[in-house]
Amino acid sequence: MDLKDYISIAGMPGLYKLISQGKNVIIVENLETGQRMPSHEANRVSSLEEIALFTKGEDKPLKDIFLEIFKKEEGKAVPDPKKAGSDELRDYFATIVPEYDRLKVYVSDIKKVLIWYNILVTSGKVDFTGSPAEE
């Protein structure tokens, strides 16, 4: 699974695919709407490939977490995280990443990871059949 071209833009909902890059601007495509737009260097952009969550041991890469969710849900989307309560989200996430650091990983982080997973699954643009961390 290759997530380097999939990004999150701070302050903007959803996920985006990097389409092209210029000197001070990148062109991104919203994975949910397909709408393309520029994102300027002033925007904080994070590649999903570089994101990891705190655990009691070493940080766990986001792509490994996505693969665990994919296996647990048998390739389907998770129930809407926006409708779930805090305890329900924490309990669910503990089944995916039992060693996650409960003090450093907030409910908002868990919700964001699950929303991102749903976007990637429903868009069908990411192959989840690869092996974790070895790609």
Find out whether 8 and 48 touch, Cβ atoms under 8 Å: yes
Exposure b/e, 17-55, CB count within 10 A at least 16 = b:
bbeeeeeeebebbbbeeeeeeebeeeeebeebbebebbe
Tokens 């996430």 map to which residue?
A: 93
Cα separation, 27 vs 104, in Å, equals 32
pLDDT in tens, 15-47: 999 999 988 899 999 999 999 999 987 789 999
pLDDT value at residue 133:
42
Range of the domain at 18: 6-48
Number of domains in the chain: 2
Question: Which CATH number fits the domain that encloses residue 31?
Answer: 2.30.30
- Non-local (6+) Cβ contacts of 69 within 8 A are 78, 96, 114, 117
Look at residue 134 and tell me whether its pLDDT is greater than 50. Answer: no
Q: What CA–CA distances, in Å, run from 59 to 6, 32, 54, 87?
A: 20, 29, 5, 22
Confidence of residue 130 (pLDDT cuts 50, 70, 90): low
Please tell me whether residues 62 and 116 are part of one structural domain: yes
> How far does CA 46 lie from the centroid of its chain?
10
Note the pLDDT of residue 70: 95
Indicate if 38 and 58 belong to the same structural domain. Answer: no
pLDDT at 132 over 50: no
The answer on 81 and 23 residing in a single domain is: no
Q: Over range 4-12, report the average pLDDT.
A: 93
Same domain as 44, residue 65: no
Q: Is residue 133 domain-resident? A: no
